[in-house]
Structure 1
Amino acid sequence: MRKLYEAANALEAHMILNLLEMEGLRGRVDGEYLEGGVGELQAHPLVRVMIEEADYERGREIIVRWEAEQPATVQEPKRLGKWVWLGLGAFAGAALMALSLRPPVTTDGIDFNRDGVLEEKWSFSGAALQKVERDRNRDGKMDYASDYDRRGMIDASEQDDDFNGTLETRARYEEGSIVSSERDIDGDSFFEYKEFFEHDVLARTEILHPNTGLPRKIVYYVKLRMDYVELDTNGDGTMDTRVRYDPDGEPVSREAIAPKTS
């Protein structure tokens, strides 16, 4: 996930998160439990609103719109009606109460090689699992991380499959099942390789053109074997060629795809 907004405090962060959720976006608040230890920490923003990379631009539009609606100067209390202040107070009180009732985050894990460093680490909010991190190649760096929703079901994951320190692969889940993943193969921050799943089974792969962001190759699978491939051979953003494959993965036919008519 990507940092969208640095909040002054946990209350402001949850107000921003509520704005995002009202627009159908999913995010989370990081660092809210660090506020209590600010006297021992470096002076920098602690509370952050995080959002999925794919939703970042839309999230920024919501933030910019919200900031534009804020008054240039703080109004005097006497100019606001008592019902406005009562409503603000009730909202703030409810939010703070909700925060105070949320259990602190604890961590546990496994030191597989007994070197004193956890190769797998779990983060919990009370009894609910929030995050799992793994060091798969035992180099002291976490190269896999998965986030869990309030029900303890996996929500998203990121991983570094070439172990170069960059999490170039990320996946999205619904109801605990993977629905899509994307990968930045060449490290240019453009995720050109996308996979789509049905019932946890790979159904389609798309390879995108870096200049247009449109598919230049789509691979369709049946029972985990390649069934056929559609190609955009001239780069105009339209699939124009279909190649079919036999069960051994050998091409058996090649045909032109008729243009779609409106």
Structure 2
Amino acid sequence: MQIVYQAAHSADAQLVRGLLAQEGIRSFVFGGALEGGAGLLPVGGSVRVEVADEDLERARAIIDEWQAADVPASDEDDADRDYGDEATPGHVEDANLYRPLNARKPASGGFGMAGIVFALAIGALGGALVTGAALRPSASAQDVDYNGDGIADERLNYEGERLVRVDTDRNTDGSFDLVTRYDGNGLASSIEEDQDFSGVRETSATLDKGLMTVRSADYDGDGVPERQENYLRGVLHNVEWLDAQGRVVKRDTYTGGRLSGGEIDSDRDGVLDTSRVYDERGEVRSSEPLQRN
């Protein structure tokens, strides 16, 4: 596998992935929210698109041709913005690899560079309240069939020119088992997964600025999650197991991504009563009753 594109964020990478798919090239996104939906979600150039070695030259040519297409003046201004040291010439093969793409939707049958500028409401000075009406974007979708079986492996959903959701069929059974939604900045805001491919998306996650905050699983479909992961700044902080009443019956705490301690409800009365300390392999090193006030 070879890196063919360094993306500004996950949605950016998905658009390039769709561009290559239109030309019959299968690509893979690494470092973004679509790869598992857990842990720290990198942004700002650490998301990348890779292709097979034999597709590298053709993929680069397709991306280069697309990026070289004429764009409106407003888009040219965006391309001149400073995206940080990583986007400086010499750091990567082409500084244009960091041009953000999420605001541009592929044209029918391929990807174009044309952007549409919507009118926005602006506040009036002097305390006068002015309500502006923005154009309501129309919804559209584009299917991508990677294996040529006539069934969509991915569906890119747009509101106007902005990518808002990607539906993915990971096991090619004709049913979308991964749904990723994006905010106005092109960062993942939520993820739903069907991890056992049963047709029910039992796992859901919430993200803030592209970083995981909460991830929960409702395996029996009763509306109450049996397991919940809580994150701080995108890093796993603790994992909680809940009973049918939503009470925490076990909590494991992580330090630096490694299981370090926790509490458990040993008598199953709905109250945590025993603390645990784990060793570096995740085995219980010691346990003792919790002191109750």
TM class, shorter-chain normalised? 0.5 to 0.7
Q: What is the one-letter code of the residue matched to 1:202?
A: L
Q: Deviations over 1:79-119 (max 9, x none)?
A: xxxxxxxxxxxxxxx79x54xx1221222243111112221
Aligned counterpart, 2:284: 251
Provide the C-alpha distance between the structure 2 equivalents of 1:118 and 1:109, rounded to a whole number of angstroms.
5
Task: Map 1:34-113 onto structure 2 (within 5 A).
Answer: 97-98=133-134, 101-113=135-147
Task: Map 1:171-210 onto structure 2 (within 5 A).
Answer: 171-210=205-244
Q: What is the one-letter code of the residue matched to 1:120?
A: E
Task: Specify which of 89, 114, 126 is matched with residue 160 of structure 2.
Answer: 126
Which has the bigger relative contact order, CA under 8 A and spacing at least 6? Answer: 2
The answer as to 2:271 corresponding to 1:238 is: yes
> How many Å apart are 1:192 and its aligned residue?
1.3
> How many Å apart are 1:258 and its aligned residue?
0.6
Q: Deviations over 1:122-143 (max 9, x none)?
A: 1111221111100001000000
Task: Map 1:138-217 onto structure 2 (within 5 A).
Answer: 138-210=172-244, 212-217=245-250
Provide the C-alpha distance between the structure 2 equivalents of 1:234 and 1:248, rounded to a whole number of angstroms.
26
Provide the C-alpha distance between the structure 1 equivalents of 2:233 and 2:171, rounded to a whole number of angstroms.
29
Question: What is the CA RMSD across the aligned residues, in angstroms?
Answer: 1.8
Residue pair 1:106, 1:123 contacting (<8 A) in 2 also: yes
Find runs of 4+ consecutive structure 1 residues off by over 6 angstroms: none
Identity, % of aligned positions: 34
Provide the C-alpha distance between the structure 1 equivalents of 2:142 and 2:263, rounded to a whole number of angstroms.
47
The two structures have a TM-score, normalised by structure 2, of 0.52
Q: Deviations over 1:181-208 (max 9, x none)?
A: 1101234443111001122222110000
Provide the C-alpha distance between the structure 2 equivalents of 1:236 and 1:259, rounded to a whole number of angstroms.
14
Q: Which structure is higher in helix share?
A: 1
The two structures have a TM-score, normalised by structure 1, of 0.58
| The 10-residue stretch of structure 1 (114-123 or 163-172) with the greater mean CA deviation from structure 2 | 114-123
Provide the C-alpha distance between the structure 1 equivalents of 2:169 and 2:271, rounded to a whole number of angstroms.
41
Provide the C-alpha distance between the structure 2 equivalents of 1:199 and 1:108, rounded to a whole number of angstroms.
33
Residue pair 2:225, 2:246 contacting (<8 A) in 1 also: no
In structure 2, list runs of 5 or more residues that go unmatched. 1-130
Provide the C-alpha distance between the structure 2 equivalents of 1:150 and 1:223, rounded to a whole number of angstroms.
31
Q: What is the one-letter code of the residue matched to 2:291?
A: A
